[in-house]
A and B are shown apart, each in its own frame.
Chain A
Amino acid sequence: DQQVKQNSPSLSVQEGRISILNCDYTNSMFDYFLWYKKYPAEGPTFLISISSIKDKNEDGRFTVFLNKSAKHLSLHIVPSQPGDSAVYFCAALEYGNKLVFGAGTILRVKS
């Protein structure tokens, strides 16, 4: 039973436009969420996180939004760049030490 779901396997965006990656979760006990980016042949790289006491967190071109009532979060990348092309994983922290990952979304930014 998947507790963290990324329902879009892939997303294609034009360079300079906004990329929006979505993530849903089912466990209401999750209180911390993270986004990771992964290039082929590399491990996941931490991008940005958000605590459940917030509804938004920004870091440069990356913004994460959290809607607790809908159990939904999204990652916005503005503007998108070709180097952003990668697999993006949404993850939730369970019991403080276990990351529960979604299946990932492949983002392709076209130049």
Chain B
Amino acid sequence: DAGVTQSPTHLIKTRGQHVTLRCSPISGHKSVSWYQQVLGQGPQFIFQYYEKEERGRGNFPDRFSARQFPNYSSELNVNALLLGDSALYLCASSYGTVNTEAFFGQGTRLTVV
């Protein structure tokens, strides 16, 4: 069985650009959460989506948005990129809304120059 898959694995963007990151959850999982991990820190919660609805939002600016599709895959969009947005973006999937055992993808390493 495939685990959580994220694409792309790496990308480099310029300040002010827009980026879209993609995540496919484990088959049968209906919840996708996004996290940002800056070097030297633990992952920080950005969003949770369940059944295509936003169920939680972390302390991130409105430049960050996400959506979930009918097949439960998800996109994270970041507009007007800043240097500080450089980080590893992690997607986690779980069956329900309660994340007592969330499974993470390998992440997308975003570098903003």
List A residues at the B interface (Cβ < 8 Å).
4, 6, 32, 34, 36, 41-46, 49, 89, 91, 93, 95-104
Contact = CB atoms under 8 A, between A and B. Distances in A.
Interface residues of B, number: 27
A41 B106 contact: yes
Interface string B79-113: 00000000000101000011111111111000000
A43 B56 contact: no
A43 B99 contact: no
A43 B100 contact: no
Interface in B49-102: 55-56, 58, 90, 92, 97-102
Nearest to B9: A41
Contact of B42 (A4, A32, A49): A4
A34 B100 CA distance: 8
Contacts of B56: 95, 97-98
Contact of B33 (A89, A97, A102, A104): A97
Contact of A46 (B45, B48, B101, B107): B101
B42 A97 contact: no
A101 B101 CA distance: 14
B101 A44 contact: no
